Amino acid sequence: MGIQAYLEHLQQQYKLEPYPDLKRRLKLLDSLRAMLTENESAITEAVCKDFGYRSPFETELAEIYPSLKAISHTKKQLSGWMESEKRGVSLWFKPARARIMYQPVGVVGIIVPWNYPLYLALGPLVSALAAGNRVMLKVSEFTPQFSLLFTRLCEQYLGPDWVKVVYGGPDVGAEFSGLAFDHLLFTGSGEIGKKVMKAASDNLTPVTLELGGKSPTIIDKSFPIKTATERLLFGKLLNGGQTCLAPDYAFISNEDIDQFIEKAKKVAKKFYPEWENKGYTSLASNKQVERYQYMLADAKAKGATIIPLWEADGASESHIKNGKATPLLIMDTTEDMQVRQQEIFGPMLPVVPYGDHQDVIRYINSQPRPLALYLFSNKQSVIKNYMLNTISGGVTLNDTILHVSQEELPFGGIGASGMGQYHGVEGFKTFSKAKSIFKQSRFAGTNLMYPPANKLSRLLLKLMKR
């Protein structure tokens, strides 16, 4: 059966039950939870094999935990989300009533990337099922072990009438993007995101694009440099830097540069004391290794200073050994370097000295809008300045990436970093049609405005226009 046939099957199932009740939706969420808890070891092992190496703890922390948290939060709140929202009506239309009903849109398509193959499948899947939809997912060809396992588990726990998983390369992805979904969510690069949006436009399919970009970090002089460095490197080195929300470059005040370098070396060694054997994630594929090597070579050729945060015995000049890349600070960068132009997606951190916050704000605003911004500061005036004068998909203050883990906060980019949002109630609403319903009263006075116009109707209209 081809993917068009899968879509048609799900569309037919949707027509048979266009508004699943709360009990049905909760049962689906329970099945998702069981799928995770009963297969946790198999999932972590599959992801580890796909990456070459990824710590099971890291998969549990960054993928399984937030997926379970999303399910729990959604189950707790779902009955309230499904209730109609009362809305007010104009004085001139009372005693009529108005409300909004949230209705499933139909069949939702989800395109899943390779870097967090579980969480970036389950996050939108939870929202789409909670909203009452059928779902098709296209999983990544770069995570074959996980993708095949996930396909089998969805079939086993959810059944083909609710969720269908397809697997394949760019050709399958292109075909998937062109299907007549009722909503399509894509997570990945901006380059591919443009192609997805173009393909979806042929069917006028609404899209949510979760892209990436160059998320800046700023460490203000008011904040302890040791704490800031630890929190920055935790976000940067998680998953070997292969995180769309990872800090992509850092602004450090001129007088703190030397101290930051010293602290960064100590922190990296403390976080990953046995990095060659365990704990530290590999670059996920040969394609990622080649991309990383190209960006590093470009920076070196154009005059950057490379500072390894630990020395890797036997590593090549690219600072890669057995697929694991040494964390690097990139100093003396210039605008023509790829590390300043492209999302890095690896453990390189360009460091940009600064003297004045206004210069930093001007620079950030001259760049494409980032998915996240990270500011370390204990001064409310500094925080307010950045919050009012920069725009990004989200913000974590005095830490990195943690805003994505808050189910009460919407997650999404803006401009080059994406469009639309999900997580929590915003995810439920993204995959729902907010249907406006106006109910006229038996005592309606609209008949007073029926044609032909007369003195009374003209007087009423004059009053209504005030």
Residue in 105, 133, 129 with CA at minimum distance from that of residue 33? 129
Q: Which residue type occupies 298?
A: D
138 bridge partner residues: 111, 166
Domain boundaries, the chain: 3-211+415-435, 216-405
Peptide bond into 308 cis (omega under 30): no
Active site residue 191: no
* Virtual torsion, Cα 333, 337, 341, 346, nearest 10 deg: -80
Query: What is the residue-averaged pLDDT of the chain?
Result: 94
Residue 278 pLDDT class (50, 70, 90 cuts): confident
DSSP β-ladder status, 328-331 and 324-325 = unpaired
* Calpha distance 195→382 (Å, rounded): 39
Residue in 172, 148, 143 with CA at minimum distance from that of residue 2? 172
Instruction: Burial-class residue 285 by CB neighbours within 10 Å (0-12, 13-18, 19+).
Output: middle
Q: What is residue 320's predicted lDDT score, i.e. its pLDDT?
A: 87
Name the one residue in this structure whose structure tokens are 């403390």: 270
Residue in 123, 10, 1, 117 with CA at minimum distance from that of residue 59? 117
Q: What is residue 296's predicted lDDT score, i.e. its pLDDT?
A: 95
Question: Which of 27-41, 319-333, 372-386, 423-437 shows the lowest mean pLDDT across its residues?
Answer: 319-333
Which whole number is the average pLDDT over 140-151?
Answer: 96
Residue 312 pLDDT class (50, 70, 90 cuts): low
325 bridge partner residues: 320
pLDDT in tens, 233-253: 999 999 999 999 999 999 999
Residue 185 pLDDT class (50, 70, 90 cuts): very high
Q: Which residue type occupies 222?
A: S
Q: What is residue 2's predicted lDDT score, i.e. its pLDDT?
A: 87
Q: For the domain with range 3-211+415-435, which CATH number is right: 3.40.605.10, 3.10.129.10, 3.10.450.50, 3.40.50.2300? A: 3.40.605.10
The total number of residues shown for the chain amounts to 466
* Calpha distance 258→382 (Å, rounded): 23
Residue 314 has pLDDT above 60, yes or no: no
Higher pLDDT, 450 or 390: 390
Which whole number is the average pLDDT over 289-316?
Answer: 87
Q: Give the end-to-end CA distance of the chain in Å, rounded to a whole number.
A: 62
Q: What is residue 315's predicted lDDT score, i.e. its pLDDT?
A: 58
Residue 321 has pLDDT above 90, yes or no: no
pLDDT in tens, 77-105: 999 999 999 999 998 899 999 999 999 99
Q: What is the DSSP letter of 255?
A: G
Active-site position among 58, 244, 343, 407? 244
Which whole number is the average pLDDT over 9-26?
Answer: 98
Both tokens assigned to 283: 């670059």
SS3 108: strand
Which whole number is the average pLDDT over 274-279?
Answer: 73
Residue 310 pLDDT class (50, 70, 90 cuts): confident
Superfamily of domain 216-405: Aldehyde Dehydrogenase; Chain A, domain 2 (3.40.309.10)
* Calpha distance 116→242 (Å, rounded): 9
Which whole number is the average pLDDT over 375-398?
Answer: 97
Q: What is residue 112's predicted lDDT score, i.e. its pLDDT?
A: 97
Residue 227 has pLDDT above 70, yes or no: yes
The angle subtended at Cα 165 by Cα 162 and Cα 171, nearest 5°, is 140
Q: What percent of the chain has pLDDT over 90?
A: 88
Both tokens assigned to 263: 């602290």
* Calpha distance 144→290 (Å, rounded): 20
Q: What is the pTM of this model?
A: 0.94
Both tokens assigned to 365: 């605003």
Residue 316 pLDDT class (50, 70, 90 cuts): low
Active-site position among 210, 230, 276, 311? 210
Question: Which of 244-258, 303-317, 374-388, 435-449 shows the lowest mean pLDDT across its residues?
Answer: 303-317
Residue 258 pLDDT class (50, 70, 90 cuts): very high
Active site residue 210: yes
The angle subtended at Cα 192 by Cα 178 and Cα 209, nearest 5°, is 80
Q: What is residue 313's predicted lDDT score, i.e. its pLDDT?
A: 61
Q: Please give the helix or strand (H or E) that residue 14 lies within, else none.
A: helix 3-16
Q: Is the dihedral of CA 298, 302, 304, 308 positive or negative?
A: positive
